[in-house]
Chains A and B, each alone.
Chain A
């Protein structure tokens, strides 16, 4: 595990972390490892992520209004456990990016404030410039559904897009921004074609910087970027671009943006692909 993790890039590390977090069996093994060596940064970070997952699963899938006080308390307890582990990892290894990434999630969940999350993001960016996973996490908090507003989210998405080299996936955050905005304004009636010239212009521009750029390759983040642009182009009825994205995706897809839809990510992906590829 240590070897695999060591060879993974930033984005892959975060994916591994999130996958491990879902595994129950890991927890006691990780605790044992830490007992023997409390300074094991990987074990501590994995265990922290595990607690983050457990915290979120305590809240369940229902609306926030239905969460009980006990559930909130248990959720916070898990996040506090995670954060305490991570504080120590970052103290012992200030350059250990995976721990800083999970601290973006704990900062958001513990309500430490956007300003504190931004501090952690800046630390992380200094260690790991252009860290897409970090940008995704920071972007989430800047959405109004967390602690930000659409203005901040918009500015951040574009700053990430502009800072990335041509052909990088990062500009897909601009698509996420518009999708989130459309959802907030129109609800999950997000299947219908969208008439939003301003957004269209931005998405097209973002596309030229990333997935539609000749330099775009199947490097980390390629699936989630293509998935988002595929959906956006379909909604905007930009068929050549949509078809290009779906073709390149092949059999692959990421959970989001397809999980925005009620019929589930798999069905949503296939419906939209059918819609896009069916156009001559």
Chain B
């Protein structure tokens, strides 16, 4: 039985079943941050946990997109001690640990790869809200006590928290010394994709498919059915891939996201994608085998009748409370499960398909399956002073009153000051601007004739709170311009006779160089990669002859 109550004025969910454990969850995460302060929530979580040091029970903290949780297992006494210490730590963050914890977080970030889920969120949401999961924790470069205190006082508060307990009755006399605060609603996360279904290609081995559907038991059944069919068709029957995965999770009170990932063997990549898209089309347009649906329903029903099923549901029930959602009882879920029909499955498939974003490996396409390519270049170039790249007539940087644009033969990347989310500044003078649509412009004085005045114009146009100081770059990471071209007459003679392959190879190298410049300044690799790949595909498509 799951019970609802209050402990120390904090909404609480608990069950007496299952192992003894508890969690304190706050309605705050990376989606609440701005790119310039990215990492502030994570930093608070780490600082608060520092006080607990090394203990003989299991505890942990996680910072997610919308929630930050502190949870533990142990005995009723140890659980209480944990919660009290976390609360005390949050109210009084050990600021003397600030620089050390920043170092810990940087190390953590280095070890962490970027997953396909994060990449998809980047494409869908850009450098704000939900898309921030894919970005570096730039806040670590500059956040100080005042900012951290303010964040804790706003978000890590009694009114913005819920508690959960399993395997015990919550102690009625538990007191947690937290800031009072207010409940913080889930941030809206507008999409930057002009339309869906949409696709993009990246240097990756996997295929990811992501969509948003209304929360329902039918949607969870659909997810399980999708996984079952993916396993059968993509692994068992064909061997195209090894471990298909489907994840379903709520994003707010009413909606959930579904993520399907396949890991095709390199030789079979095109066939894996083709089979996967045909499978999705069949769920959306065709008939699903009623026996398959029945089997999935039975399997899910069995999972729900297991002991400790409710203990497992308790933390999500707590999240629902924070999201303002009502958690159905186990009986309600069972009834809804029994009532799921083929029509319900198709409805979920339609909703998923209409909202879908598909991320495929470089070299693959998806326009033929009805997906619109996500924009790789800006549609407009700002008006202003045009600075040609040093020794590279194909590229130029335009600095104007409204923003900046990097212009090349494959297109332009424009960041308008009004839409700028961050200005990165290196001690060597290099700068980078990132816009809300995910476009980035690297402003390198070594590559363009940028004067101090140009840089001052740009800095004046960007609000102070969006400027992020970057650590010093070693010499090898500061981009250098290409060698000057040979004497013009000689160059003309040579270029007329350059075979097509060599021209393409040169274009490739120039684009690669630009991408590397962008990476070296710390602009997220994905922007650089996206620009490079988009530009390369565009130029190869144009140059291609069958």
A91 CA to B346 CA, complexed, in Å: 12
**CB-based nearest B residue for A90:** B278
A116 to B277, CA, bound (A): 12
B270 and A84 form a contact (CB under 8 A): no
CA distance A111 to B273 in the complex (A): 13
Which one of A80, A93, A119 contacts B367 once the chains associate, using CB atoms below 8 Å?
Answer: A80
Q: Does residue B271 face the partner (Cβ distance < 8 Å to A)?
A: yes
Q: Which residues of A contact B285 (CB under 8 A)?
A: 88, 91-92
Contact B270 A116 (CB under 8 A): yes
Indicate if the CB atoms of B270 and A64 lie closer than 8 Å.
no
B235: shortest Cβ distance to chain A, in Å? 14
Contact A115 B368 (CB under 8 A): no
Given contacts A84-B370, A112-B368, contact A118 B271 (CB under 8 A): yes
Least CB distance from B543 to A in Å reads 9
Residue of B268, B271, B287, B544 contacting most chain A CB atoms (<10 Å): B271
Contacting residues, chain B, for A80 (C-beta < 8 A): 367-368
Known contacts A67-B545, A84-B368, A84-B370; is A91 also within 8 Å of B282 by CB?
yes
Determine whether B52 belongs to the interface, using a CB cutoff of 8 Å to chain A.
Answer: no
* Contact residues in A for B485 (Cβ distance below 8 Å): none
Encode B166-188 as 1/0 by CB contact (under 8 A) with A: 00000000000000000000000
List of B residues within 8 angstroms of A111 by Cβ: 365
CB atoms of A87 and B270 under 8 A apart: no
Q: Is B545 a contact partner of A94 (Cβ separation < 8 A)?
A: no
Contact mask A54-89 → B, CB, 8 Å, 1/0?
000000000011010100100010011001100110
In the complex, A115→B270 CA distance in Å?
A: 6
Contact A110 B545 (CB under 8 A): no
> Given A116-B270, A116-B274, is A64 in contact with B545 using a C-beta cutoff of 8 Å?
yes
B280-310 interface with A by 8 A CB criterion: 281-282, 284-287
Whether B286 contacts A79 by the Cβ 8 Å rule is no
CB distance from A177 to the nearest CB of B (A): 21
Identify the closest chain B residue to A145 (Cβ).
B546
A67 to chain B, nearest CB (A): 7
The answer to the question of B335 belonging to the interface, with a C-beta cut-off of 8 Å to chain A, is: no
- The minimal Cβ–Cβ distance linking B372 to chain A, given in whole angstroms, is 11
B284 touches A91 (CB 8 A): yes
Q: Decide: B267 and A88 in contact? CB cutoff 8 A.
A: no
Select one of B268, B274, B370, B544 contacting A112, CB under 8 A: B274
A67 vs B370: C-alpha distance when bound (angstroms):
25
Q: How far is the CA of A84 from the CA of B370 in the complex (A)?
A: 6
- A93–B285 Cα distance when bound, in Å, is 9
For residue B109, CB closer than 8 A to chain A, the reply is: no
Q: Mark A97-113, 1 if CB is under 8 A from B, else 0.
A: 00000000011001111
Min CB–CB distance A121 → chain B (angstroms): 11
- Of the listed residues B270, B282, B544, the one surrounded by the most CB atoms of chain A closer than 10 A to its CB is B270
B275 interfacial by beta-carbon distance below 8 Å: yes
* Alpha-carbon gap, A67 to B269, bound state (A): 29
Query: Quick one: which of A76, A94, A113 has the most chain B CB within 10 A?
Result: A113
Instruction: Indicate with 1 or 0, residue by residue over A175-206, a CB within 8 angstroms of chain B CB atoms.
Output: 00000000000000000000000000000000
Residue of A whose beta carbon sits closest to that of B281: A91
Contact of A115 among B269, B281, B287 (CB under 8 A): B269
Give the CA-CA distance A106 to B271 in the complex, in Å: 14
Given contacts A64-B545, A92-B286, A94-B282, contact A119 B368 (CB under 8 A): no
Cβ of A120 within 8 Å of any chain B Cβ, yes or no, is yes
Contacts of B546 in A (CB 8 A): 64, 67
- For B287, the chain A residues whose CB sits under 8 A away are 92
Given A88-B281, A92-B286, A111-B365, 11 additional A-B pairs, CB 8 A = A69-B541, A79-B368, A84-B368, A106-B368, A112-B365, A113-B270, A115-B270, A116-B270, A116-B273, A119-B270, A120-B274
| 28 pairs, A vs B, C-beta closer than 8 Å | A65-B545, A76-B367, A83-B368, A83-B369, A87-B278, A87-B281, A88-B285, A91-B278, A91-B284, A91-B285, A91-B286, A92-B286, A92-B287, A94-B286, A106-B368, A107-B274, A110-B365, A112-B274, A112-B368, A113-B269, A115-B268, A115-B270, A115-B271, A116-B270, A119-B238, A119-B270, A119-B271, A119-B274
Interface residues of A (CB under 8 A from B): 64-65, 67, 69, 72, 76, 79-80, 83-84, 87-88, 90-94, 106-107, 110-113, 115-116, 118-120
